[in-house]
Structure 1
Amino acid sequence: MRLSQSWLTEALQAGAPGWSASTDDIDAGFVRVGFEIEDVEPFPTITGPLVVGRVADIEELTEFKKPIRFCLVDVGNDTPQEIVCGARNFSVGDLVVVALPGAVLPGGFEIGARKTYGKMSAGMICSVSELGIGSDHSGILVLAPGTAEAGASAYDILGLDDVAIDVNVTPDRGYAFSMRGLARELASAFAVPYADPASAIAAPEAAAGEPWPVALDDDGRAVRYTARVIEGVDATAVSPWWMAKRLMVAGIRPISGIVDVTNYVMAELGQPLHAFDADKVVGTVRVRAARAGEKLETLDGVVRTLDPEDVVIADDSGPIALAGVMGGAATEVTASTTRILLESADFDQVRVFRTGKRHKLSSEAAKRFERRVDPEVTAVASHRAAALITEIAGGRVVGDLSDVRAAAEPTAAIVIAADLPDAVAGIGYPTGTTAARLREVGCQVTGDDVTAEATAPTLTVVPPTWRPDLTQPADLVEEVLRLEGLEGIPAVLPSAPGGTGLTPRQRRRRGVGIALATNGFVEVLPYPFLPAGVFDVWGLAQDDPRRATVQVLNPLESDRPELNTTLLPGLLEMTARNLARGNRDLSLFAVGQVVLGGDQGPVVPALDVTRRPSDEDLAALDASLPKQPVHVAAVLTGLRDPAGPWGPGRAADAYDAFEAARTIAAASGVELTFVADQELPWHPGRCARLEVDGQPVGFAGELHPAVLERAGLPARLCALEIDLDALPLTQVLPSPQVSHYPAVLQDVNVVVADEVPAQQVQDALRVGAGELLESIALFDVFVGEQVGAGNKSLTFALTFRADDRTLTEEDANAAKLAAVDYAGGAVGARLR
């Protein structure tokens, strides 16, 4: 809400005569009561002669490409001032603002006398944009008749020593979109009496006549509607400067006396109004829902097809306005209008909001209706507007005010302990503070919080009609604290309660991330929604469990309505994005939840929001949710070992994916078993199923070439994915056991058939070596003529150690030979 400092000062002086404050003090005052100041903008500086002039004569210069006028303007001198001007919105006899030679306008624009368009021009007839008051440069600023005599200084009349203050109003404080609301807040900030302008407005005198018939249909859901007739008005009347200035500062362009009054009262009291040409309104004015197929041409010249959800103002001929949003062109007030029907109403905030969004219309009126207006100020605003219209545009009020209200429940009272704000803030406020501050807000307060004898006094509070946001004790506490000053509440750090720290699952998740990061992987956060058609790119069967997805009803993107059942699609998308930006050597990982559809329980009906859910309700909600296990996934492409003086580097391959899986297992305190398998999108000959205690927990290996080609990804890209929640929780102690006895290291080289997995060979050697074997690791694979066609050579590093003695080479060699002998019978291995 943008308004001038002079208007704020005038509003507070109504309750505190002589009150004034500097701009900085007003800024601090608003902040003190919880409002943020967006901008403080002094009016631009103008120097030199700036006077009021009366247009004495206009000569149209028609020999130029654009319309030019040569004007004689009376500026109080003996001879009229000659000025060339291109604007056309003024006539002979109008009062205008003239910058005479020597004046310097905003932007350092100096006015002089010069010859232009074949005429001497000594001065400028100014628009509001040239004066720096507003942004309207479409025409000259025309002052209302009688504003001043020709030649009078324009500085005092224009009030150019003013300041525009822009207050940021939050959506829950709709009352503050008015001078009435902001002045109340500022009065609280400066602890001065506040005079509500609405309480001093009386109904205007009216000539005899019938009130205009008004009706509210149930489907319109209007709260209140008033209408009154004013006849004999001059629709061409110009608003007085004080009103036009306040409107321009508020960002509203002055249009005509009647329209300006409706906008001014809206800015003053927060109640939007609208003026119809009464001679164009036929029969009863009715607030109702639009009917399917109805059309309405709004004031912006657009013919709109209405929706049954729209609320309209209609007469016997059909819709004449979109309720609370914009008037209709058919009943617009024009220069020939002599009789108006003045509307002041309170419409349903939700219907106004949806209508504006549906038709992509935004207006100052809709902004206020969407945040609720005070239903008790509806008639008062009509009184105020009628008085101003008759003052500015002439005419007289005819007939009584038509005032129709829908049945409404009384505002519910709120019971609050008088010392609740003290308890919330941790401060002992003086006795009576709660009641006093709530009365400042406008609440009706009954009860006793002023006697020392009362041990737990309570207050019964009825919020004012302009504060629909006050619905519970917490809202009232907030009002008391902000008016007392939030800066006075001490900042006390809460003491952290003792606990056990992270849960075992949290520790495992953190350990996995640290382990992968330590091994050169970079963590990323992939999108939680599946890309469209990704499983078709992978070639998954229609009954694949990963296709059983959960759809979001309101997705962020229409082509991504499904939640992830696997982390790989998001990781592959991020890989493609990095490759497109030149990052070719990638080791990425992600840890996050996936959502497995097709396994959730029964759908739970909507819960009652007026109470806390019961334990049974919460249990039913939990049972209805799909499974959401935590997965870890990684992708590798490009060089795993970088190139340099030491060599050309090494490309990532399936064994790096297997090693990353072992890293995850080690951080989780489990041991993985690798079993050859076929699972899309992995390569059927380079894919391992990962098992723990015989239970599958994930897959690792190289991705299928066809999948990579269809996805536009580089060949030989490797990936893994593990279900962390499927791993057993084990305690991983930070310190290893250190033996007192040395180890004996042995290497063994065995030859097996190509189709025998290395994991099976390793498992057989482990069993055959017995208890003396401490660890075994494969470190070389060889295929060639030396081992025969269809065979491969596997070299393992064996570590032997005894807990009770120092092993000899003979002991270790015997255990190694026993291991080879057992592997020979189990998997056909022979010593090379």
Structure 2
Amino acid sequence: MRAPLSWLREYVDLPAGTTGREVAAKLIAAGLEVETVERVGADITGPLVVGRVLEIEELTGFRKPIRYCAVDVGAAGAESGEPQRVICGARNFVVGDLVVVALPGAVLPGDFAISSRETYGRVSEGMICSAAELGMADDHSGIIVLPPGHEPGDDAIELLELRDEILDIAVTPDRGYCLSLRGLARETAIAHDLPLRDPALLDVPVPNEDGHPVRVEDRAACDRFTARVVTGVRPDAITPVWLRRRLEKAGVRSVSLPVDITNYVMLELGTPLHAYDRARLEGGIGVRRAEAGEELVTLDGVKRTLHPEDLLITDARGPIGLAGVMGGAETEVLTPERDPETDEWRGTTEIVVEAAHFDPVVIARTVRRHGLTTEASKRWERGVDPEATAAAAQRAVDLLVGLAGGIADPGVTHVGVMGVPRTLRLPADHPDRVAGVAYGRETVARALQRVGCDVYGTDELTVTVPSWRPDLTDPNDLAEEVIRLEGYENLPSTLPRPPAGRGLTPRQRLHRRVGRALAGAGFVEAPCYPFLGTAALDALGLEPDDPRRRTVTLVNPLSDEEPHLRTTLLPGLLAALRRNEGRGNHDTALFETGLVFRPTGEEPAAPRLPVDRRPDAEAIASLDAALPHQPRRVAAVLAGLRDPAGWWGPGRPADWADAVETARLVAREAGADIEIVADRHAPWHPGRCAAVRVTVDGEVLTAGHAGELHPRVIGAMGLPPGACALELDLDLLQRASEGPVRAPGVPNFPPATRDVALVVDASVPAGRVEEALREGAGELLESLRLFDVYTGEQVEEGRKSLAWALRFRAPDRTLTAEETAGAHDAAVAAAAERTGAVVRGA
């Protein structure tokens, strides 16, 4: 809502010198959202005056038509009473018209200085101005032609209200009354503790039987309807400058005087109006719901098929408007035009003014069905003062009589009954308990009275809510009014007292440990949105029956392309990898920990929870049961160089082994003992994919996979060649852990290291050999590391050599050579027995 400060001053006597920024600060403190304060015309200096065109000389011989005009500017001329000679290219004015003239010495917006200068072979003593040149509008099509009633030499800056400050206010849905100057003036008056001149306090005639006939069939959707008739309207009446300027500053385009008046009253009082051409109406006006198959051509020229729930304005022929949204084209007020044969003006001379009150929900649903948002519907959706309908109609009638020469018809139609004021019970100390501040009964009552409430009572207050505040529906709303008027800045800052707890849960601790470990290993955390589309699952190469294709579909997704909740973390991370690759980050290591959503299809329907009370434990349990399984997972992706190049040699590209080692790192942080076995699982390369298995309660389960992505997946998703990834179930790793993870102690005795190279069949996994060595070595084995894999001439075909480094240590003594040799030989013997391993060279 754009509110010119000069318009606000009409209703509130602000102190002289009060700036728009000062008013904005007060309104912000009162809870309104003032986005900007625009200063218009501050860069305009005079002389800028009204001029009357006396002569027009057409200059020829130039590429465009040029006119040399003599303009009477009154006493502002160079010689008192002498006309100014001005060059102008516009052609929308004639001799005798009043125009706006910038004389030498004036400065227009954009620091455009006006001076006398020779052009087109003549001396131009100023400039005849267009609206765009004065910063009033973007229209460059012609200069401003003023209506009669002004004298040459009048100050055009004051006449056109060129200097002003405009407050642009974002009105929240609960403060619909602020979509009017009346509402904003009330807030301004309250903020400055000044009286308000309410523009809705008008003398309204009593309804009678002589007005335009109106029949309302749906009183629930339209509880009031006022109709007034104005006859004798002059078709040639034009909108006065002051009214047009106020509309322009408020962001509304001038159309014609009757339409401008209805828009002006809507901005002033907040009640949308509609004007009908009485000559184009057939019979009385009706208000009813639409019937199946009905159509309506609205003012925007669109033929709309109506829904049975649409509320319509009708006459004897059928629909003539969508109630509260937009009128119909058949009964619109005609744009005035001059008859070329008689040179007389033609247009609407009899107008029926509609001022009604519609149900906000009905209007909101109509707007969404037709995708048709208007200035009127914005106000109806937020709530309009039902008691202002008669005043709004009277204000429009007064303006039509005063500005268009019309005659108010004595008939006044009013359908509906006066509303019953809403009352609320409010304990006097309720705002104190909400805010934690001792306001007291007198402060509470005074604050509520300032917003228009009537307050009675002592310990328990009876509060009558004003008709323009439909948002005040319960005691907390009233408490909020007290708090905001007394100042949010006066609320004390107090820290909440959390209940005693046990710190982080084991699940949270594991989440943090894994994140720190991956960050320490060179990965960058990249949280992604938990949404995906079918295209992403197709790109991963998942089979039709893959459980990851069973998704939870959102009713109202952020994007139609990603309507499902994710069942795997990989699509988001791989998309982030692709973006990094496209922006030149070729050596990338990303990770994410988060929830995935794995529905079984057997979840019960979610219950509808109550809104008037807290749900009980049974309702919450039913809601939890309806949710899909949500395991916490960790995923990582790698591409490019894992070890950078330098003077020490070339870099090493990331490969499947890095993904597997990262899985081992995560398992160590979880304290889980894992087994790495070859597997085939989308989206990984079938020959470079490892399954990570754990044992939980005696059952071997797959916790995830790691390896190089399938070439088809890399091509489909636009990833760099050789990209690798892993994804593990953190909850499953936690279940497989052997208790709390303990920090390693500092050893007191030295280690003993022995190497061994074992030759096994090429089909034997290194993990089986490692398991045998570990069990055979016993408790003295501290660690073992595979440091070489060899196949070649020195090893038989179909076999491979695996070289291991074994580190032995005892916690209470230095190992002897015999103890080390015994543990080493036992480890080799166990590997030979289980895997057929032979010591290389033996």
TM normalised by structure 2 equals 0.89
Aligned partner of 1:424 in structure 2 is 434
SS of 2:564's equivalent in the other structure is coil
Change (3 A) 1:169 1:542: closer
Aligned partner of 2:462 in structure 1 is 460
SS of 1:130's equivalent in the other structure is coil
User: Is this contact kept in 2: 1:219–1:289, CA < 8 A?
Assistant: no
Aligned partner of 2:101 in structure 1 is 98
Residue of 787, 809, 820 corresponding to 2:828: 820
Structure 1, 181-190 or 716-725: larger mean CA deviation: 716-725
Q: CA deviation at 1:117?
A: 7.2
Aligned partner of 1:490 in structure 2 is 492
1:27 partnered with 2:24: yes
Aligned partner of 2:195 in structure 1 is 193
1:727 partnered with 2:733: yes
User: Is this contact kept in 2: 1:412–1:462, CA < 8 A?
Assistant: yes
1:107 partnered with 2:110: yes
Q: CA deviation at 1:503?
A: 1.3
Q: CA deviation at 1:406?
A: 8.5
1:349 partnered with 2:346: no
SS of 1:432's equivalent in the other structure is helix
Structure 2 Cα separation of the partners of residues 191 and 476 of structure 1:
19
Q: CA deviation at 1:481?
A: 1.5
SS of 2:447's equivalent in the other structure is helix
Residue of 407, 411, 434 corresponding to 2:444: 434
How many residue pairs match? The answer is 817
Structure 1, 797-806 or 383-392: larger mean CA deviation: 797-806
Q: CA deviation at 1:393?
A: 0.9
Structure 1, 72-81 or 659-668: larger mean CA deviation: 72-81
Change (3 A) 1:655 1:351: same
Change (3 A) 1:62 1:367: farther
Residue of 743, 748, 752 corresponding to 2:756: 748
Aligned partner of 2:389 in structure 1 is 378
1:622-681 CA-partner distances (Å, limit 9, x unpaired): 001110101111222322222211111222222222211111011112221222333222
Structure 1 Cα separation of the partners of residues 537 and 164 of structure 2:
66
RMSD over aligned CA atoms reads 3.2
1:766 partnered with 2:774: yes
1:416-448 CA-partner distances (Å, limit 9, x unpaired): 222232333333335401111111111232221
Map 1:267-666 → 2, pairs under 5 A: 267-291=267-291, 293-308=293-308, 310-334=310-334, 335=336, 336-356=347-367, 361-405=372-416, 412-429=422-439, 431-448=441-458, 457-494=459-496, 497-666=499-668
1:150-204 CA-partner distances (Å, limit 9, x unpaired): 44444544445543333343332111121111111111111122332212x0125
User: Is this contact kept in 2: 1:688–1:700, CA < 8 A?
Assistant: yes
SS of 1:785's equivalent in the other structure is coil
1:672 partnered with 2:674: yes
Q: Give the letter for the 1:378 counterpart.
A: T
Q: Give the letter for the 1:816 counterpart.
A: H
Aligned partner of 1:453 in structure 2 is none
Aligned partner of 2:818 in structure 1 is 810
Structure 1 Cα separation of the partners of residues 292 and 142 of structure 2:
41
User: Is this contact kept in 1: 2:782–2:808, CA < 8 A?
Assistant: yes
Change (3 A) 1:46 1:781: closer
Q: CA deviation at 1:246?
A: 2.1
Structure 1 Cα separation of the partners of residues 747 and 120 of structure 2:
105
Structure 1 Cα separation of the partners of residues 83 and 708 of structure 2:
92
Change (3 A) 1:773 1:192: same
Structure 1, 584-593 or 608-617: larger mean CA deviation: 608-617
Structure 2 Cα separation of the partners of residues 823 and 795 of structure 1:
13
1:41 partnered with 2:39: yes
Q: Give the letter for the 1:34 counterpart.
A: G
Change (3 A) 1:762 1:418: same
Aligned partner of 2:724 in structure 1 is 718
Structure 2 Cα separation of the partners of residues 503 and 341 of structure 1:
71
Change (3 A) 1:75 1:648: closer
Map 1:56-205 → 2, pairs under 5 A: 73-76=71-74, 85=88, 87=90, 94-111=97-114, 122-146=125-149, 148-160=150-162, 162-199=164-201, 201-203=202-204
Percent pairwise identity: 53
Structure 2 Cα separation of the partners of residues 549 and 103 of structure 1:
69
SS of 1:735's equivalent in the other structure is coil
Structure 2 Cα separation of the partners of residues 6 and 676 of structure 1:
79
User: Is this contact kept in 2: 1:204–1:386, CA < 8 A?
Assistant: no
Change (3 A) 1:295 1:637: same
Q: Give the letter for the 1:252 counterpart.
A: V
SS of 1:646's equivalent in the other structure is coil
Structure 1 Cα separation of the partners of residues 418 and 158 of structure 2:
50
Aligned partner of 2:785 in structure 1 is 777
User: Is this contact kept in 1: 2:607–2:623, CA < 8 A?
Assistant: no
Q: Give the letter for the 1:381 counterpart.
A: A
SS of 2:200's equivalent in the other structure is helix
Change (3 A) 1:568 1:210: same
Q: Give the letter for the 1:43 counterpart.
A: G
Change (3 A) 1:770 1:30: closer
Structure 1, 228-237 or 248-257: larger mean CA deviation: 248-257
Change (3 A) 1:647 1:97: closer
Structure 1 Cα separation of the partners of residues 414 and 189 of structure 2:
32
1:798 partnered with 2:806: yes
User: Is this contact kept in 2: 1:54–1:75, CA < 8 A?
Assistant: yes
User: Is this contact kept in 2: 1:290–1:311, CA < 8 A?
Assistant: yes
Structure 2 Cα separation of the partners of residues 257 and 483 of structure 1:
39
User: Is this contact kept in 2: 1:33–1:482, CA < 8 A?
Assistant: yes
Q: CA deviation at 1:233?
A: 0.9
1:701 partnered with 2:702: no
Change (3 A) 1:125 1:545: same
Change (3 A) 1:621 1:600: farther
Structure 2 Cα separation of the partners of residues 538 and 190 of structure 1:
64
Q: CA deviation at 1:755?
A: 1.2
Q: CA deviation at 1:50?
A: 3.4
Structure 2 Cα separation of the partners of residues 433 and 798 of structure 1:
81
1:448-470 CA-partner distances (Å, limit 9, x unpaired): 1xxxxxxxx22222322211222
Structure 2 Cα separation of the partners of residues 165 and 396 of structure 1:
36
Structure 1 Cα separation of the partners of residues 544 and 830 of structure 2:
44
User: Is this contact kept in 2: 1:654–1:718, CA < 8 A?
Assistant: yes
Change (3 A) 1:204 1:103: farther
User: Is this contact kept in 2: 1:43–1:164, CA < 8 A?
Assistant: no
Change (3 A) 1:265 1:283: same
Structure 2 Cα separation of the partners of residues 179 and 52 of structure 1:
30
Aligned partner of 2:344 in structure 1 is none
SS of 1:12's equivalent in the other structure is coil
User: Is this contact kept in 2: 1:230–1:397, CA < 8 A?
Assistant: yes
Structure 1, 276-285 or 153-162: larger mean CA deviation: 153-162
Structure 1 Cα separation of the partners of residues 788 and 663 of structure 2:
19
User: Is this contact kept in 2: 1:40–1:163, CA < 8 A?
Assistant: yes
Structure 1 Cα separation of the partners of residues 106 and 819 of structure 2:
109
Structure 1 Cα separation of the partners of residues 535 and 40 of structure 2:
58
Aligned partner of 2:683 in structure 1 is 681
Q: Give the letter for the 1:257 counterpart.
A: L
Q: Give the letter for the 2:426 counterpart.
A: I
Structure 2 Cα separation of the partners of residues 58 and 341 of structure 1:
43
User: Is this contact kept in 2: 1:599–1:627, CA < 8 A?
Assistant: no
Q: Give the letter for the 2:729 counterpart.
A: D
Structure 2 Cα separation of the partners of residues 535 and 675 of structure 1:
25
SS of 1:826's equivalent in the other structure is helix
Change (3 A) 1:759 1:423: same
User: Is this contact kept in 2: 1:100–1:122, CA < 8 A?
Assistant: yes
Aligned partner of 2:218 in structure 1 is 218
TM normalised by structure 1 equals 0.90
